[in-house]
Amino acid sequence: MSLHPLAGKAAPQSLLINVPELIASYFSLVPDPGIQEQRVSFGTSGHRGSSLKRSFNERHILAITQAVCDYRKEAGINGTLFMGIDTHALSWPAQLTALQVLAANEVQVCIDRDSGYTPTPVISHAILTHNSNVSSLSDGIVITPSHNPPMDGGFKYNPPHGGPADTDVTGIIQKNSNELLENNLTAVKFLPLAQAQQAASVTPYDYITPYVDDLDAVIDMQAIASSKIRIGADAMGGSGLAYYAAIRDRYGLTMDIFHDYPDPTFSFMHCDKDGKIRMDCSSPYAMAGLVDLRHDFAIAFGNDTDFDRHGIVTPSSGLLNPNHYLAVAIDYLAANRPAWSKETAIGKTLVSSSIIDRVAADIGRKVEEVPVGFKWFVDGLLHGSIFFGGEESAGASFLRKDGTVWTTDKDGIILNLLAAEITAKTGRDPGEHYLDLVNKFGEPIYARIEAPATPAQKKILKNLAAKDIKETTLAGEPIQAILTKAPGNDAPIGGLKVVTENGWFALRPSGTEDIYKIYAESFIDTAHLKSIQEEAKTIAGKFL
At 276, is the pLDDT very low, low, confident or very high (cuts 50, 70, 90)?
A: very high
Average pLDDT, the chain: 96
Q: Which of 150, 22, 44, 54 is nearest to 512 (CA)?
A: 44
Give the full edge-to-edge strand order of the sheet including 152-158.
42-43, 46-50, 152-158, 139-143, 81-85, 109-112, 202-205
For the chain, give the percent of residues with pLDDT over 70.
Answer: 100
- The whole-angstrom separation of Cα 66 and Cα 104 is 10
- The whole-angstrom separation of Cα 71 and Cα 77 is 8
At 134, is the pLDDT very low, low, confident or very high (cuts 50, 70, 90)?
A: confident
**b/e burial code for range 201-212 (CB count within 10 A of at least 16 → b):** bbeebebbeebb
- At 66, which helix (H) or strand (E)? helix 58-75
- The whole-angstrom separation of Cα 240 and Cα 245 is 10
- The whole-angstrom separation of Cα 270 and Cα 278 is 8
| Cα dist from 466 to 206, 469, 470, whole Å | 50, 6, 9
| Chain length of the chain | 544
pLDDT confidence of residue 336: 98
- The whole-angstrom separation of Cα 189 and Cα 429 is 53
pLDDT confidence of residue 512: 64
The CATH code belonging to domain 445-541 is 3.30.310.50
Do strands 202-205 and 109-112 pair parallel, antiparallel, or not at all (unpaired)?
Answer: parallel
DSSP state, residue 137: -
Q: Return the bridge partners of 329, or none.
A: none
- The whole-angstrom separation of Cα 85 and Cα 239 is 7
Q: Is the pLDDT of residue 181 over 90?
A: yes
- At 111, which helix (H) or strand (E)? strand 109-112
The answer to which of 42-46, 47-51, 119-123, 293-297 has the lowest mean pLDDT is: 42-46
In 3-state terms, what secondary structure has residue 91?
helix
- Contacts of 194-201 with C-beta under 8 Å, sequence gap 24+, read 195/103, 196/99, 196/100, 196/102, 196/103, 196/104, 197/99, 199/103, 201/102, 201/103, 201/106, 201/107, 201/108, 201/109
- The whole-angstrom separation of Cα 31 and Cα 14 is 28
Domain 15-207: CATH superfamily, name plus number: Alpha-D-Glucose-1,6-Bisphosphate, subunit A, domain 3 (3.40.120.10)
Provide the sign of the torsion angle of the four alpha carbons 93, 94, 100, 102, taken in this order.
negative
Mean pLDDT across the stretch 274-293? Answer: 97
pLDDT confidence of residue 133: 85
Q: Is the pLDDT of residue 451 over 90?
A: no
- The whole-angstrom separation of Cα 106 and Cα 99 is 10
- pLDDT tens digits along 511-540: 767 899 999 999 999 999 999 999 999 999
pLDDT confidence of residue 202: 98
Residue ranges of the domains in the chain? 15-207, 210-441, 445-541
- The whole-angstrom separation of Cα 230 and Cα 40 is 45
- Domain pair 210-441 / 445-541, same fold: no
The answer to whether 413 touches 243, Cβ cutoff 8 Å, is: yes
Q: Which of 146, 283, 317, 352 is catalytic?
A: 146
- The whole-angstrom separation of Cα 513 and Cα 523 is 30
Q: Return the bridge partners of 496, or none.
A: 507
Mean pLDDT across the stretch 426-430? Answer: 98
The answer to whether 308 touches 411, Cβ cutoff 8 Å, is: yes
146 is known as an active-site residue = yes
The answer to whether 15 touches 42, Cβ cutoff 8 Å, is: no
Return the ∠ at Cα 8 (arms to 5 and 13), rounded to 5°: 75
pLDDT confidence of residue 29: 98
- The whole-angstrom separation of Cα 277 and Cα 314 is 23
Beta strands in 365-480 (DSSP E): 367-370, 386-391, 395-398, 445-452, 473-474, 477-478
Q: Which of 280, 298, 302, 278 is nearest to 290 (CA)?
A: 302
Q: Return the bridge partners of 233, or none.
A: 257, 301
- The whole-angstrom separation of Cα 45 and Cα 146 is 8
- pLDDT tens digits along 219-265: 999 999 999 999 999 999 999 999 999 999 999 999 999 999 999 99
Class of domain 210-441 (CATH, top level): alpha beta
- The whole-angstrom separation of Cα 138 and Cα 125 is 11
Return the ∠ at Cα 31 (arms to 157 and 116), rounded to 5°: 40
In 3-state terms, what secondary structure has residue 181?
helix
- The whole-angstrom separation of Cα 483 and Cα 485 is 5
Q: Return the bridge partners of 270, or none.
A: 10
pLDDT confidence of residue 273: 93
- How many CB atoms sit inside 10 A of residue 542's CB? 10
Q: Is the pLDDT of residue 1 over 70?
A: no
pLDDT confidence of residue 544: 86
Mean pLDDT across the stretch 419-426? Answer: 98
Q: Which of 507, 509, 411, 497 is nearest to 458 (CA)?
A: 509
Mean pLDDT across the stretch 265-272? Answer: 98
- pLDDT tens digits along 44-79: 779 999 999 999 999 999 999 999 999 999 999 999
